[in-house]
Amino acid sequence: MPTEWWRGAVIYQIYPRSFKDSNGDGIGDLKGVIDRLDYVARLGVDGVWLSPFFTSPMRDFGYDVSDFCNVDPVFGDLSDFDALVLKAHRLGLKIIIDQVYSHSSDQHAWFGESRQDRENPKAAWYVWADPKPDGTPPNNWQSVFGGPAWTWDSRRRQYYFHNFLSSQPDLNLHNKEVQNAILQVTRFWLNRGVDGFRLDALNFAMHDPQLRDNPPAPHSDRKITRPFDYQLHVHSQSHPDIALFLERIRKVVDEYSGVFTVAEVAGPSPLAEMKAFTAGDKRLNSAYNFDFLYGKKLTSEQVKTSLTAWTGEPGEGWPSWAFSNHDAPRAVNRWAPEDQRDRAARLYAMLLMSLRGNIFLYQGEELGLPQADVPFEQLQDPEAIANWPLTLGRDGARTPIPWAQGTVNSGFSVSKPWLPVDPRHDGLAIDVQEADQHSTLQFFRKLIAIRSDSAPLRLGSIDFVRTTDDFLAFSRTFKGDSVFCAFNLSVEKKCRQTGKECAMTTLISSEPDHYGQHPPETVPALSGFIAQITS
């Protein structure tokens, strides 16, 4: 096994607002995370990724940071964070935190100073531009959340650029002073004992200084709900100098021991940037995209395409994968029929845990939670509100975790939660599944233990077998030890396809009575198995 703890690791994502409320205000907090870290450790995961808990006006629920080096009072304070890190390390868990380097809140002191005039010390810390002669924005760039990516500021008599909400002005990371300030943020959290960073929206971090117009996107038959999707974002994001800034981050990170760095890379064609951000040993360790997070259907061809893009050649980074997270509707809703979601949750778990790379497991995924139903009047997500009812939005994946069946708010909080608890989740509560040896939760624990103990699953190469579109099969091999993985993605039973026949013993299967036996010739609908190749 290599020395890097993160290579092939399973990392559990906690969305603190919805994990556990410790003080009865209806919002999850750091003390709530501390109280329930033992549950996370019992899953057998290697680490925890904490979504933002920084000081913020919460227009985008923590991704609009007004103080990069402090904890928002709704979540607690820095002593709570220190206690969380201490307990996590005592339990053998690593702590990874979000870092939002592409933008800040408009309530950040840096922006407050920058917008005062055009001569102040931080005047160039954000992206400012004069209007066109007719007073309109400098170019045609559009924001992710709808409308122009430029907002007028009367004090400077200029527009400022924002890829997301108008309350999230983009930092000017071309400016070395800004880079230096961000690197101080990096050091601040490393000095508090964090073990890694997820760099949010990294390919949005730098723009084209010439402010050239984005070209239109090719015509598509898909339904477009926002102006952002009418463009190719070749100038408003993805500047090649992002990779050079990452080298500065890596120099800081390498002063500490065993720190893991992973980039979030959004967009329709992210592979080139993912490879650039992780190339060699001077940039990031890993990157992940939205190959599976927004996919409306799961096919064997999609898995093959995504996985074979990472060949393992020298100098190549290490991929990471997620099927669900706080930004995407839950996978069981997107991919499985409603009456088959329990079976599908186990199938998707086996597939996710079999992939070559690091695995991100989103809170509630281990319970098989479906996307929650959040009425319009209770929506909080600005994107969901803006595009309602044409998209599912993000709130349905962010509702509180059900801890105890039949209790107030399923044990999340004694007060009204910030988002409602879906009644369907109550029957899937953790206490119910803890007591049932055949539950989805217990299945996940077995599966994570198998991956943890298997060098092929954590570190091995991946070789796909030629199969039909609804059947996926591959082997994972490390130093002569091999595991065979097969998955029936369809709602009909399929004959097992192995490419070549060999002796195998089932390690785990959707069908419990197959454990320890040679895999069956027929694989039931929405099921699969992982088997040790014995000869």
Q: In what order do the strands lie in the sheet with 150-153?
A: 128-129, 158-161, 150-153
Residues in the chain: 535
- Angle at which helix 440-453 crosses helix 341-354, to 10 degrees, equals 10
Question: What are 459's two structure tokens?
Answer: 């570190």
Range 144-154 average pLDDT: 95
Q: Give the three-class secondary structure for 117.
A: coil
Q: Which residues contact 338 (CB under 8 A, 6 or more apart)?
A: 370
- Indicate the pLDDT class of residue 192, thresholds 50, 70 and 90: very high
pLDDT of 518: 73
At residue 487, what are phi and psi to the nearest 5 degrees? Answer: -140, 125
Question: What are 533's two structure tokens?
Answer: 């190749």
At residue 407, what are phi and psi to the nearest 5 degrees? Answer: -100, 170
Strand partners, 103: 170
Question: What are 27's two structure tokens?
Answer: 């919002």
For 79-121, the pLDDT digits (tens) are 999 999 999 999 999 999 999 999 999 999 999 999 999 999 9
Question: What are 46's two structure tokens?
Answer: 């290697």
Residue 468 has pLDDT above 60, yes or no: yes
pLDDT of 501: 65
At residue 62, what are phi and psi to the nearest 5 degrees? Answer: 100, -15
Check if 200 is active-site.
yes
The number of helix segments (H) and strand segments (E) in the chain equals 15, 20
Residue 392 has pLDDT above 90, yes or no: no
Check if 316 is active-site.
no
Catalytic residue among 119, 134, 221, 255: 255
Cα 359 to Cα 372, 438, 446, distances in angstroms: 23, 23, 16
Lowest mean pLDDT among 83-92, 184-193, 369-378: 369-378
**Mean pLDDT for the chain?**
94
User: What is the Cα–Cα distance from 80 to 96, expressed in whole angstroms?
Assistant: 16
For 42-78, the pLDDT digits (tens) are 999 999 999 999 999 999 999 999 999 999 999 999 9
Range 1-16 average pLDDT: 90
Q: Kind of pairing, strands 494-495 and 471-478?
A: unpaired
Lowest mean pLDDT among 45-49, 137-141, 330-334, 506-510: 506-510
Residue 367 DSSP symbol: G
Range 488-508 average pLDDT: 81
Cα 290 to Cα 265, 341, 398, distances in angstroms: 8, 21, 18
Range 421-437 average pLDDT: 97
Q: Which helix (H) or strand (E) holds 262?
A: strand 260-264
Lowest mean pLDDT among 133-137, 208-212, 268-272, 368-372: 268-272
Lowest mean pLDDT among 9-23, 443-457, 468-482: 468-482
User: What is the Cα–Cα distance from 74 to 22, expressed in whole angstroms?
Assistant: 11
For 158-183, the pLDDT digits (tens) are 999 999 999 999 999 999 999 999 99
Residue 386 has pLDDT above 90, yes or no: no
Of 1, 31, 2, the closest CA to residue 16 belongs to 31
- Angle at which helix 241-253 crosses helix 176-191, to 10 degrees, equals 30
Residue 409 DSSP symbol: G
The distance between the two most distant Cα atoms of the chain, rounded to a whole number of Å, is: 75
Lowest mean pLDDT among 130-134, 295-299, 427-431, 516-520: 516-520
Catalytic residue among 200, 273, 365, 366: 200
Residue 276 has pLDDT above 80, yes or no: yes
pLDDT of 514: 61
pLDDT of 284: 98
Residue 498 has pLDDT above 70, yes or no: no
Lowest mean pLDDT among 70-79, 172-181, 200-209, 466-475: 466-475
In CATH terms, 461-533 corresponds, of 3.40.50.720, 2.60.40.10, 2.60.40.1180, 1.10.1040.10, to: 2.60.40.1180
| Angle formed at CA 238 by CA 233 and CA 242, multiple of 5 degrees | 165
User: What residue ranges do the domains of the chain occupy?
Assistant: 10-105+175-448, 461-533
Range 294-323 average pLDDT: 93
In CATH terms, 10-105+175-448 corresponds, of 3.40.30.10, 3.30.530.20, 3.40.50.2000, 3.20.20.80, to: 3.20.20.80
Residue 1 has pLDDT above 80, yes or no: no
Residue 513 has pLDDT above 70, yes or no: no
At residue 476, what are phi and psi to the nearest 5 degrees? Answer: -120, 130
User: What is the Cα–Cα distance from 138 to 131, expressed in whole angstroms?
Assistant: 5
Distance of alpha carbon 294 from the chain centroid: 12
